Amino acid sequence: MHHHTHDIAHDNEQKTLWVIIFTVITMAAEIVYGYLTNSMSLLADGYHMGTHALALGLTYAAYILMRRCSGSKKFPCGTEKIGTLAAYTSALFLGFTGVWIVWEAIRRFLYPLPIEFNEAIVVAVIGLLVNAVCIFIMESHHKSYKADESDYNFKAAYYHILADVLTSLMAIVALILGKFTGTVYLDSAIGALGGVLILRWAFKLLRHTVAILIDMKTN
- Condensed to tens digits (0 to 9), the pLDDT of residues 30-59 reads 788 778 877 766 776 677 677 778 778 887
Backbone φ and ψ for 13, nearest 5 degrees, come out as -60, -45
Q: Spell out the domain ranges in the chain.
A: 2-213
pLDDT confidence bin for 150, thresholds 50/70/90: low
pLDDT one-digit tens code per residue, 71-122: 767 766 667 777 788 888 888 888 888 898 888 888 888 887 777 788 778 7
CATH T-level assignment (fold) for domain 2-213: Alpha-lytic protease prodomain-like (1.20.1510)
pLDDT tens profile 113-149 = 777 788 778 777 877 888 788 888 777 644 444 445 5
Q: Give mean pLDDT, residues 153-177.
A: 78
pLDDT level of residue 7 (50, 70, 90 thresholds): low
Q: CB-side exposure of 143: number of CA atoms within 13 Å? A: 1
Q: What's the confidence (pLDDT) of residue 9?
A: 60
For 143-199, the DSSP string reads HHHHT-TT-HHHHHHHHHHHHHHHHHHHHHHHHHHHHHHT-SHHHHHHHHHHHHHHH
Give pLDDT tens digits for 198-213.
888 888 888 888 887 8
Could you say which DSSP state residue 216 is in? Answer: -
Q: Residue 202, CB half-sphere, CA atoms under 13 Å: how many?
A: 22
Q: What is the mean pLDDT of residues 167-176?
A: 81
